[in-house]
Amino acid sequence: MAQPLRIDGETRFFPIIGHPIRQVKSPASLSQIMADRGFNGMVVPIHVLPQDLRDWLAQAAAVQNCPGIVVTVPHKGPCLEFCTHLTARARASGAVNIMIRRDSGWIGDATDGQGYLDGIAAQGFVVAGRPALLVGTGGAGSAIAYEILARGASELALHDIDHSRRDALIARLNAAFPRKARVGGTDPRGFALVANATPLGMREGDALPVQTDLLTPDQFVADVVTRPAIPPLIAAARAKGCSTMPGSGMFEAQAVLLAELLMGVRQIALE
């Protein structure tokens, strides 16, 4: 049975910051995980404009019962510079989605890739030794790209309309995983995993991130989009007979990880 939330003078406050913020689904889930484990904490959505990020983070650092922050778009890249320590994932991704207070600074990590690949694994697909195509190299996409290679993909092709962002990520990935990352496109043929890390599909009329008419039933298709529950890419892939993971799979896999990091049950490992 779900436990009631406790809010008093000892409650620890965990903001989740973004612009916009109305689309986030995690505050209630993360807060409930904390309550169910007897932890007095609460995750609250905070709408922070990009131009206000620096001042807001300075204020957050002064809030003594704020031991951690969850970061969403568009702040994942900019928050890097406010971290005194970064994990190898965050450095290679060029983004953070969680910041944990330690001593006088923040430790930054990028867990989106872990949630994405754990969600895929829960559906029975293993990326090790297989080629992958990833569309989208923003904050979440960068973390997902790192994790795909960390879990042993034979190669990773990356596509993004922002070529400079794509190429910068390829350079960082090849520094960590030599000759594994390259430029890709929207043609999914030849890839065992076809992954979307863009918001395409959230709005009615969005273009599909890949050429779904070229998909084949032996491919696994994954998406970050959580609304609608079955994004257009996933619907098209299922119509082709592909195994799939919608964004909810990533969300569910990542929720416990984020909550445990915020609570201090699990520690961020620095290399």
Report whether pLDDT(271) > 90: no
CATH topology of domain 12-111+252-263: Rossmann fold (3.40.50)
What are 131-162's pLDDT values in tens digits? 999 999 998 999 999 999 999 999 999 999 99
Question: Averaged over 64-70, what is the pLDDT?
Answer: 97
The CATH code of the domain at 113-250 is 3.40.50.720
State residue 235's pLDDT score: 98
State residue 5's pLDDT score: 82
Whether 113-250 and 12-111+252-263 are alike in CATH topology: the answer is yes
Using pLDDT thresholds of 50, 70 and 90, give the confidence band for residue 269. confident
Q: How far apart are CA 86 and CA 260, in angstroms?
A: 18
Between the CA of residue 115 and those of 10, 104, 118, 267, what are the distances in Å?
30, 28, 5, 16
For residues 234 and 2, which has the higher predicted lDDT (pLDDT)?
234
Assessment of whether the complete model's pTM goes beyond 0.85: yes
* The 131-135 sheet, strands edge to edge: 181-183, 155-159, 131-135, 193-196, 220-223, 243-245
Q: Is 25 a catalytic residue?
A: no
Contacts of 205 (CB under 8 A, 6+ apart): none
State residue 236's pLDDT score: 98
Q: What percent of the chain has pLDDT over 90?
A: 87
What are 105-140's pLDDT values in tens digits? 999 999 999 999 999 999 999 999 999 999 999 989
Nearest Cα residue to 234 out of 247, 253, 250 = 247
What are 86-102's pLDDT values in tens digits? 999 999 889 999 999 98
State residue 183's pLDDT score: 98
Q: What is the 3-state secondary structure (H, E, C) of 63-74?
A: CCCCCEEEECCC
Nearest Cα residue to 114 out of 93, 138, 136 = 93
Q: What are the extents of the domains in the chain?
A: 12-111+252-263, 113-250
State residue 3's pLDDT score: 84
State residue 52's pLDDT score: 98
Whether the bond between 131 and the residue before it is cis, its omega within 30 degrees of 0, is no
8 A C-beta contact, residue 189 and residue 210: no
Q: How far apart are CA 122 and CA 140, in angstroms?
A: 19
Please report the beta strands in 34-191, taking only residues with DSSP state E, as ranges in sequence order. 41-47, 68-71, 85-86, 98-102, 105-109, 131-135, 155-159, 181-183
State residue 2's pLDDT score: 80
Report whether pLDDT(171) > 90: yes
8 A C-beta contact, residue 12 and residue 60: no
What are 193-234's pLDDT values in tens digits? 999 999 999 888 999 999 999 999 999 999 999 889 999 999
For residues 59 and 227, which has the higher predicted lDDT (pLDDT)?
59
**Left (φ > 0), alpha (ψ -120 to 50) or beta: where does 190 sit?**
left
Written as six digits, the tokens of 126 are 């293993």
* Of the listed ranges 11-15, 40-44, 152-156, 253-257, the one predicted with least confidence: 253-257
